[in-house]
Amino acid sequence: MNNEQAKLTKSGFIILAILVVLCLAAGITAYVLNDKQGQPTDPAVISDDADQLLLYEGGYYRLRDDLETVLLMGVDKTSDFHETAGGSVNYQQADFLMLLLLDKEQKKCVPLQINRDTMCVIWQLDIYGDPLVPINGQITLAHAYGSGGKDSCRNQVRAVSDLLYGMKIDNYISVTMDAVPALNDLVGGVTVTVLDDFSKISDKLVQGSEVTLTGDLALEYVRGRMSVGDGSNISRMARQRQYLVALRAKMQRMQQEDPNFQIKAISAVSDGMVTDCSTYRLSELAEMISTYEFDDIQTIAGEATAGEEFMEFYADEDALYRQVIELFYDPEK
């Protein structure tokens, strides 16, 4: 193996691990509630000062120093979309959001899936990519401000961090919608039992039937929403988790059968990837993820309601506060 192949193989580990827990949501136009202007939530509600104790329900908690976090974004665009220098709006949303919490002490990864409809404070950016005006809207829209490149990714990280009471996010990695059919077909298709009623948009996805997803049908299964089942993103998120479990099993078999599978996988998705990770950082994360045990995917409790035009998801603040403490803090002994 030459040096370039070795580099691709190391980077391939991280891409494979990411794509095991990553698929894209629907390319549906979201919106901002401009009539509900507000100020950003106080990121100090939960302190990120490791030396400061947090009092919660009669007990003290200390911020963990053995966690690393990576935000995964499935962006509603194709790899041939190029960022526009100096642009302040790009109309491309991070429709799939998942935060990986890497527990270095227990050697495990805890994935937290975030509903793209979550209503929260996001920032409009100026032409330099700096925060300009805070507004209330769906969290997916944070990526729509900026050029569509790294500035948009940083804005999405900012929104997720604010949602989680200011918890630090160490790195981000985004991929485009091309990744789903490309990787799906690379493993020879993924078989699922269809969870929802797709009759309004496809006669190939019959609810309750077992189907091997190939090509764009895989993308349709994990992206379909407005005319599928109850039309909610919550149902779609359940399909995404189902698909990921099946995809992971196929990928594990492919890695055992084909020594070049990792190089093929990264070649299939690398054109549409945007990240703040260096090659060294990717290799470091790859080593962690490839050896860690994966917990079940967590979601945020809350309520989905019909807004003026689209669905809105409101997190249960008490439950979310408790979840953040459980994920990011340890009880003080």
Asked, for residue 62, whether it belongs to a domain, the answer is: yes
The answer to pTM > 0.85 is no
Asked, for residue 185, whether it belongs to a domain, the answer is: no
* pLDDT tens digits, one per residue of 116-130: 999 999 999 988 888
73 strand-pairing partners: 97, 174
Asked, for residue 75, whether it belongs to a domain, the answer is: yes
Rounded CA separation 67/47 (Å): 15
* pLDDT tens digits, one per residue of 304-331: 888 887 789 999 999 999 999 999 999 9
Domain count across the chain: 1
Rounded CA separation 256/131 (Å): 46
Rounded CA separation 180/222 (Å): 9
Asked, for residue 255, whether it belongs to a domain, the answer is: no
Asked, for residue 205, whether it belongs to a domain, the answer is: no
Asked, for residue 95, whether it belongs to a domain, the answer is: yes
Asked, for residue 17, whether it belongs to a domain, the answer is: yes
* pLDDT of amino acid 42: 39
Give residue 81's domain range.
3-178+263-331
DSSP for 4-51, written as a single string? HHHHHHHHHHHHHHHHHT----------B-GGG--PPP-TTSS---TT
* pLDDT of amino acid 175: 83
Q: For residue 111, what is the domain's CATH number?
A: 3.30.420.590
Rounded CA separation 58/74 (Å): 39
Residue 190 three-state SS? strand
- 67 alpha carbon, distance to own chain's centre: 18
**Strands 329-331 vs 59-63: parallel, antiparallel or unpaired:** antiparallel
Asked, for residue 246, whether it belongs to a domain, the answer is: no
pLDDT along the chain (333 residues), means of 10: 40 45 34 36 46 86 94 76 57 88 93 94 88 92 90 95 96 85 90 93 93 92 83 86 85 82 73 82 77 87 85 94 96 87
Residue 270 three-state SS? helix
